[in-house]
Amino acid sequence: MLIQSILFVVLVVGGTALISWPLGRYMKWAMDPGDPSSGPAGWKDRAFRAVGGPLTAQDQTWKRYMVAMLAFNVVMFVVVYGFLALQQYLPLNPDGKEGLEASLIFNTAASFTTNTNLQHYSGEVSLSYLSQLGGLMWLQFVSAATGIAALAALARGLAGRPLGNFFLDVQRASFLVLLPLAFVVAILLVVGGVPMTFDGAAVATTLEGVQQTIARGPVAAFVAIKQLGTNGGGFFGPNSTHPLENPGFWTNILEMVAIIIIPMACVWMFGRIIGRMRHAGVIFAVMLAFLLVKTTGAVWFEAAPTQAFANLPIEQTVGNLEGKELRFGPTGGPLWSVLTSSTSNGSVGAMHDSLNPMTGLMPMIGMWLNATFGGVGVGMVNMFLYIVVGVFIAGMMIGRTPEYLGWRVEAREVKFALFALLAHGLFILGGTALFSATPWGAETLNNVGPHGFSEILYEFTSASANNGSGFEGLGDNTGPWNLATGIVMLLARFIPIILPLAIVGSLSAKRRSAESSGTLSVEGGVFATMLAATIVVVGALTFFPAATLGPIAEHVIYMN
């Protein structure tokens, strides 16, 4: 059992790390084909320019890049708001889904625009096939592409080059990176038994003669990009625990690989664009170390049986099975919970609300840090913020001017980085405090005591981390929840994209100096330790008091 768990984790995480290397090389080729002035643009760039129009002709400053990104995201939001609001009048609605309530539409459009995929609706209950595919699946492509584009621009800036052009980058990421990967994964899912049909629900008469209606739909196409783009919003309400969304052991492995493959490859792409692969290797190692610590914790704590059955004549030898699928094996659920929260994916392979208390803390830690691989593109962007703070502190400690890749890091850059990092804490802790103290939160709980508090804490954590998973017992489809988490998702998406771009804009206005022996090397163990310490101090300790009120209190009170 222990050996099998270790083998399973090594296979999934190690295997994906291996594939991420060539994928990172491919992504560099796709996203950063080189300086266009050095030769004629390739046919791909010519096509992307034809689609994008005159604004794609030249490189953008960080401000223009940001404006382009925001404009595109506004269009994303508005289009999908329209799809969802009008779905009862639009085609591809074989099961006659009705219109949605306004605050739910706002929340859902914000959620999928920001790559969060927090779902206050249940897919098979509320949405037409057109809303699912044309609305949400479209955003799953282009919101992920937005994140990859932001990372490419950041990396180019750090390499001392122009940032590039958002309208080209977003097309490169959509068409060259996400589309081919999604197609491959979707076909493999189909082979594994995931439905892909435009027919409505099937009506069965069971062996005992009862009628059972079975929702289905174009699931495979949706699930592939949901996993790859760190989106996480399921076709069905219970996400990848649903047997038609994730029918077996091997589809489960495929879906887990798809969660982390692009976030891992993003680190290598970053390294290739800045031309510092050893530095990328150190960042990758730090991220992987955090991931493995959380995985160990989750697998360990989840091996404890369901405490509620302690005094009943029920077998206590297997781990906690509440909210879990037998076909994934005992390690599938806890490993998935770590992968999905270490990245900003947010799909689930077991119900997080029903995880053992300390297991449930692991996904929360993942989302609090939000950079130990993190979302596609934006995970590495978040890590850049920790790096800026880390080199600043290290520079102060050794009494040298802090530098990163030869750029002088000064008060202005550190302020931006800290602001972006601390905003995350403010959204989570401020929101949790407000909703814990008012009926907005207290009346929507599904569990009592510290676990109820955890439900609120988890929801704001998930919204601010742009994750999208939930302690799903929470009755979160209310006006206050829809508005509060919608606003948090939007702010927490764009602040940590815009400020890093601003930092790069500010850095590249300075003269770059050569790295000397007096500078802290970004390629060794000292840097790795410094970075890890910064992540623990800034990222984790902010949330420790909240953790003690929720999962830790529940563990201490109830678990033997």
Partner 1 sequence: MQALLASIRIAAATMLICVAGYATAVWAVAQAVAPDGANGSLITRADGTIIGSRQVAQAFTQPGYFWPRPSAVDYNATAAGGSNKSPTSTDLTDRGQELVERYGAAPQNPLPADLAAASGAGLDPHISEAGALYQAARVAEARGLDLARVEGLIRNAAVSPGGFLTGDRIVNVLELNLALDEMSRAQVG
Alpha helix locations (H) across 32-171?
43-52, 62-85, 102-113, 123-126, 129-130, 138-158, 166-171
Q: How far is the CB of 197 from partner 1 (least distance, A)?
A: 5
Q: State how far the Cα of 433 lies from the Cα of 192, in Å rounded to an integer.
A: 44
Among 11, 86, 289, 537, binds partner 1 (CB under 8 A): 11
Q: Within 13 Å and on the Cβ side, how many CA atoms surround 201? A: 16
**What is the rounded distance in angstroms from the CA atom of residue 78 to the CA atom of residue 110?**
10
Output the six-digit token pair for 66. 């940001």
Question: Which CB sits closer to partner 1, 60 or 519?
Answer: 60
With respect to partner 1, which residue has the nearer C-beta, 263 or 357? 357
Q: Which of 18, 102, 204, 398 binds partner 1 (CB under 8 A)?
A: 204
E strands, 405-545, are 407-408
Q: Which is nearer to partner 1, 323 or 539 (CB)?
A: 323
Residues 295-314 that bind partner 1 (CB under 8 A): 305-309, 311-314
Nearest one of 338, 249, 221 to 287, comparing CA atoms: 338
Q: How far is the CB of 55 from partner 1 (least distance, A)?
A: 5
Tokens of 149: 């584009």
Which tokens in the block code for residue 425? 């804490």
* CA angle centred on 210, ends 204 and 211, rounded to 5°: 40
> Which residue, 78 or 289, is less far from partner 1 as judged by CB?
78
186 touches partner 1 by CB under 8 A: yes
Q: Is 479 helix (H, G, I), strand (E, B) or coil?
A: helix
Stretch that binds partner 1, among 32-40, 328-336, 507-515, 537-545 (CB under 8 A): 328-336
Q: Of the two residues 193 and 480, which places its CB atom closer to partner 1 in the complex?
A: 193
Which one of residues 109, 215, 261, 338 is an interface residue with partner 1 (CB under 8 A)?
A: 215
Distance of CA 292 to the CA centre of its chain: 17
Give the footprint of partner 1 on residues 435-494 (CB under 8 A).
446-448, 451, 471-473
How far is residue 399 from each of residues 391, 392, 395, 435, 522, measured CA to CA in Å? 12, 10, 6, 44, 17
Binding status of residue 247 toward partner 1 by CB under 8 A = yes
Q: Is 94 in the site for partner 1 (CB under 8 A)?
A: no
Q: Measured from the CB of residue 421, what is the shortest distance to partner 1 in angstroms?
A: 29
Dist. CA 342–CA 465, nearest whole Å: 10
Least Å from the CB of residue 511 to partner 1: 31
Question: Rg of the chain's alpha carbons, rounded to an integer?
Answer: 23
- 10 forms part of the interface with partner 1 (CB under 8 A): no
Query: Under the criterion CB under 8 A, does residue 323 sit at the interface with partner 1?
Result: yes
From residue 99, give the alpha-carbon distance in Å to each of 34, 89, 103, 126, 253. 47, 9, 12, 8, 36
Q: Which of the 8 DSSP states describes residue 309?
A: G
For residue 311, the one-letter residue type is: N
Using CB under 8 A as the binding rule, the residues of this chain from 492 to 531 that contact partner 1 are none
Judged by CB under 8 A, the residue of 14, 42, 63, 75 near partner 1 is: 75
Largest CA distance in the chain: 79
Q: Which two tokens stand for residue 446?
A: 């599904």
The one among 102, 125, 398, 533 contacting partner 1 by CB under 8 A: 125
Q: End-to-end CA distance of the chain, in Å? A: 22
Binding mask 17-56 for partner 1 (x = CB under 8 A): ----------------------------------xxxxxx
Taking CB under 8 A as the criterion, which residues in 348-407 touch partner 1? 348-351, 353-357
The stretch near partner 1 (CB under 8 A) out of 28-36, 195-203, 263-271, 423-431 is: 195-203
Does residue number 191 form part of the binding site for partner 1 (CB under 8 A)? yes
Q: Which is nearer to partner 1, 25 or 64 (CB)?
A: 64
Which residue, 212 or 438, is less far from partner 1 as judged by CB?
212
Secondary structure of 333-400 in HEC code, one letter for each residue = HHHHHHHHHHCCCCCCCCCHHHCCHHHHHHHHHHHHHCCCCCCCCHHHHHHHHHHHHHHHHHHHHHCC
Among 32, 45, 255, 325, binds partner 1 (CB under 8 A): 325
Kindly tell me which residue out of 167, 404, 407, 543 binds partner 1, with binding defined by CB under 8 A.
167
* Dihedral (Cα; 281, 495, 140, 364), 10-degree rounding: 70
**x-or-dash string of contact with partner 1, 225-244, rule CB under 8 A:** -----------xxxx-xxxx
247 Rama class: left (phi>0) / alpha (psi -120 to 50) / beta: alpha
Residue from 13, 27, 110, 142 in contact with partner 1 (CB under 8 A): 142
Picking from 234, 13, 224, 272, the residue whose alpha carbon sits closest to that of residue 126 is 234
Identify any residues that bridge with 211 across adjacent strands, giving them in sequence order. 205
Question: What is d(CA 337, CA 348) in angstroms, rounded to the nearest whole number?
Answer: 6
Q: Among 30-38, 201-209, 415-423, 461-469, which window interacts with partner 1 (CB under 8 A)?
A: 201-209
Q: Let me know: does 176 contact 148? Beta carbons within 8 Å.
A: no
Backbone angles phi, psi at 329, to 5 degrees: 75, 170
Contact indicator for 1, 330 with CB cutoff of 8 Å: yes
Does 76 engage in binding with partner 1 (CB under 8 A)? yes
Q: How far is the CB of 237 from partner 1 (least distance, A)?
A: 6
User: Binding to partner 1 by residue 328, rule CB under 8 A?
Assistant: yes
The distance of closest approach from Cβ of residue 193 to partner 1 in the complex, given in angstroms and rounded to an integer, is 4
Q: Does 214 contact partner 1 by CB under 8 A?
A: yes
The nearest distance, CB 546 to partner 1, in angstroms, is 17
Least distance (Å) between residue 407 CB and partner 1: 28
- Residue closer to partner 1 by CB (options 302, 403) is 302
Contacting partner 1 (CB under 8 A), which of 43, 208, 399, 514? 208
200 binds partner 1 (CB under 8 A): no
- If you count them, how many residues does the chain have? 560
Segment near partner 1 (CB under 8 A), from 198-206, 272-280, 286-294, 406-414? 198-206
